[in-house]
Structure 1
Amino acid sequence: MQPKFLTLDGIDGAGKTTQLNVIRAWFEARGLPVLFTREPGGTPLGERLREILLAPETQVSLRTETLMMFAARCQHLEDVILPALKNGVNVVSDRFTDATFAYQGGGRGLPDADIAVLERWVQGSLKPDLTILLDVPLEVSLARIESSREKDRFEQEQADFFRRVRDVYLQRAAAAPERYVVVNSNREKADVKVEIETVLDKLFQAA
């Protein structure tokens, strides 16, 4: 079976941490080889860039921020994702390039064309086999962010920022339904769990 590259994405507060545990348990129950990773991060360089990018005191231009995201991504691909796939290991990444289009594009206003240039340069033709997009209403996202731990640099943004981020995620999913599955995560955790497990069952049965 060809290994799969899966990504889990969505607006802050959508419940990615909880559902990553669901996905991990699904793979473990079937004995399938899998590597879990995250963006920005996944490598020593990526984790250092993550610390800088998320630190509330960091002040960088939008282009610099985007280049840092793709620098972390390039190292992530070369050191982690591509070697794992080559060795027959499935990869699940907490965020990937969709997040750049949503946050730096939708949220901050960088043109999609600029992001697409970097996407092609860093990734070539590589795209996830499946992106599970967790979605919650904006007010739910904001309430969860407000009640969580100390907010990072992105979580400190205003409601309009997150509205634009969510809109771009949903637009991208609607434009490529063959790659995305939008999961309403504003429900009982058990119901979301069942839906994600069903999505994974279908993906690997079709392989």
Structure 2
Amino acid sequence: MTTTKNSQLALLVTASTMMAAPALATTSEQNQFFDNIAAHCGKAYEGTVTAGNDADSAFTGKKLVMHVRECTDEQLKVPFHVGDDHSRTWVITKTPYGLHLAHDHRHEDGSEDKVTMYGGMTADMGTATEQSFPADAHSINNFRENGLNVSITNIWHMYIKPNEFTYRLTRENRDFRVDFDLSKPVALPPVPWGHE
């Protein structure tokens, strides 16, 4: 009788402990995706616009370089250089809710742009080669405050294959895409604005 009660108590303690334990921060698919990018840490690659429209004219004729520059177990910082514009850094972070993508935008003096750190959380587990990030509430509020209502339905996508990395932005009437050749590392670009 006592043994049965002890067993039941042990089961209750185990169950309550399991319920109190935090859920996995990121899925195995998200971790593999993160690791696939991290494998390129310290290297830079040139890209080409493969989809876009008039809204993307700032990228026309410019050298496009991504640099997997800063890597920890929890976060990747990947500056995206557009010609002499070194204002953009993608920040991919592991969180208790999945992967989060933020766009860190700086001015040349290092100060933050008024539209910065926008992005979103993965909406599902994705795959080891593809993740999507719909705009989150912070981003939507920031866009609205700055007259960018057209951006509130933004979804950012990243794809990674052995020889190609893709950054893509989609929303109604917009599909912007840059493909980077991972088979040919290029010279490292300058330090992005506002970073050391």
Q: Which has the larger radius of gyration?
A: 2
More strand as a share of residues: 2
Q: Relative CO higher for 1 or 2, CA cutoff 8 Å, sep ≥ 6? A: 1
What is the TM-score with the length of structure 2 in the denominator? 0.28
